Amino acid sequence: MYTFIRHLLFLFDAETIHVFSLKILSFTHSIGLLRLLLPRHIDAPITVMGIEFSNAVGLAAGLDKNAKYIDALASCGFGFIEVGTVTPLAQAGNDRPRLFRLVSDNAIINRMGFNNDGVAALVSHVRQRKNNCVLGINIGKNKTTPLENAVDDYLICMQEVYVHADYITINISSPNTPGLRELQHGEGLTDLLTQLKNKQLELNQQYKRYVPLAVKIAPDLIDEEITDIAQRVLSAQIDALIATNTTNSRPDKLLCKSVAEETGGLSGAPVFDISTSVLKKFADALDNKIPIIAAGGISSAEDAVKKIQAGASLVQVYTGFIYSGPTLIQQCALALKKR
């Protein structure tokens, strides 16, 4: 049934349909219809970062940027939901069109640019959720904040979301905020992570609750950068790594050649190899000292298993969910349960 619905939806502009689909999902959930249509939730409890997840398959950041649809999305079978990226102030993001489907490639290119309603709005939506699934909140910087002041934006967001999150993701890898990926490198990274770690310890004291920090990295990194980032993440005592965000690269095998020329981050099936290779290298460099959450190109249960084999403890899906719907989430969760 999802394939039929998808064919219909894909006749329209990608972003318009994205918003429309989330509204329909939310409506059908609110009237109790959604749970009758969806595959059953797979219970396969797993503890990572000291948090118990109902299964190992999460929703990656960016689909529910303002945390408006947590309950409806959680009912799609995810073991955890990551909302955001949220910035201190609301911002419109880049001009439309900024979301493109590469249907024959099972892929998406986006250059959304952190369009979101700001951290206060996100927190007010999170407060209204009824589902108690594990919630990650992904934080970033406003476009207008100079890079040298980026840490202030992360600190503001952290302060606001801390009590509402089960874990917090520090996003320094989106390709659509100018300069953001520079935060992944050198002393600047150490400085950023140290300040955020100190804030975490301060908030832990204040609220008597330890909320783990995860750093989300790009797939477009060379080996020396991977080793360097891993060392800095460990030294700063960050709790987990998310590998990876979308890629700026364009693999030769892409079939939708003209859409592939659009600027933005590529996600979905063509990213799987690049992302999994980076995941493996991080797994070696981190040497099991902290867990890795894998995202990037999961389009089947086998892909999810390969991510775990490559060194991940949990997986996240975004583009595969758009193309295959909730059944993919159930299949991945089942395959990981059986391992």
Ligand X SMILES: Cc1cc2nc3c(=O)[nH]c(=O)nc-3n(C[C@H](O)[C@H](O)[C@H](O)COP(=O)(O)O)c2cc1C
Summarize as ranges the residues that interact with ligand X (CB under 6 A).
60-62, 65, 85, 99, 108, 110, 112, 114, 138, 171, 174, 216, 245-246, 267-268, 271, 295-298, 317-320
Taking the complex as a whole, the smallest distance from the CB of residue 107 to ligand X amounts, in Å, to 8
Give start and end residues of each alpha helix (H) in 55-103.
70-74
Q: Which residues contact 95 (CB under 8 A, 6 or more apart)?
A: none
Nearer to ligand X, 121 or 202 (CB): 121
Least distance between ligand X and beta carbon 112 (Å):
5
Nearer to ligand X, 206 or 309 (CB): 309
Backbone angles phi, psi at 213, to 5 degrees: -110, 130
**Contact predicate 219/195, CB 8 Å:** no
**Closer CB to ligand X, 62 or 212, in the complex:** 62
216 phi, psi to nearest 5 deg: -100, 125
Taking the least distance from each CB to ligand X, the nearer of 53 and 268 is 268
CB of 292 to ligand X, least distance (A): 13
Q: Using CB positions, name the residue nearest to ligand X.
A: 62
- Residue labelled with tokens 């904040």: 145
DSSP three-state, residue 20: helix
Backbone φ and ψ of 267, nearest 5°: -135, 170
CA 190 to CA 266: how far, in whole Å?
28
Specify the amino acid at residue 118: G
CA atoms of 289 and 230, how far apart (whole Å) = 10
Task: Respond yes or no: is residue 258 known to be catalytic.
Answer: no
What is the DSSP secondary structure assignment for residue 264, as one 8-state letter?
A: S
- Active-site hit among 54, 75, 174, 275: 174
CA–CA dist 290, 232 (Å, integer): 13
Q: Give the nearest distance from C-beta 245 to ligand X in angstroms.
A: 5
Please state the closest distance from residue 294 (CB atom) to ligand X, in A: 9
Which residue's CB is nearer to ligand X, number 110 or number 200?
A: 110
Minimum distance of ligand X from residue 33's CB (angstroms): 26
- If the CB atoms of residues 54 and 138 are measured against ligand X, the closer one turns out to be 138
Helix residue spans in the chain (DSSP H): 2-9, 14-30, 34-37, 70-74, 119-127, 150-161, 186-207, 223-235, 257-260, 272-286, 301-309, 319-324, 326-337
Catalytic residues: 174
